[in-house]
Amino acid sequence: MTINTKAEEYAFLSDMAYKNWALNQQTKPNDSPSKDIYEVIQIIDSISGYYGVVFQNTRANEIIVAHRGTQAPGDLTRDLFITDAHGHTAH
């Protein structure tokens, strides 16, 4: 089976979005599947509940935005309420 290294890298960064980061903080070289280092260049923590981290690959200068999903029962309730309040339905 061939493993897509980019997919592994994106999965790693998705997981990293659930950690508490500070601006300019970096991952450790052996943390990511590629052994690349990522620096936090922006954190978005919105009152609406959205949370995202913008990482920059220090070797390739690639920018990746990693998003958190619903984390706790309170988030699920809020997410459903916001979705219903805006008239959207789940499919």
pLDDT score at 41: 98
- In this structure, what token pair is assigned to residue 78? 């809020």
In the structure encoding, which two tokens stand for residue 17, read together?
Answer: 């979005």
Rg of the chain's alpha carbons, rounded to an integer?
A: 16
Which H or E element spans position 43?
A: strand 38-45
- With a threshold of 0.85, does the pTM exceed it? no
pLDDT (tens digit, 9 = 90+) per residue, 30-68? 999 999 999 999 999 988 888 999 999 999 999 999 999
Alpha-carbon gap, residue 46 to 84, rounded angstroms: 20
pLDDT-based confidence at residue 69 (cuts at 50, 70, 90): confident
Roughly how many angstroms between the first and final C-alpha of the chain, as a whole number?
33
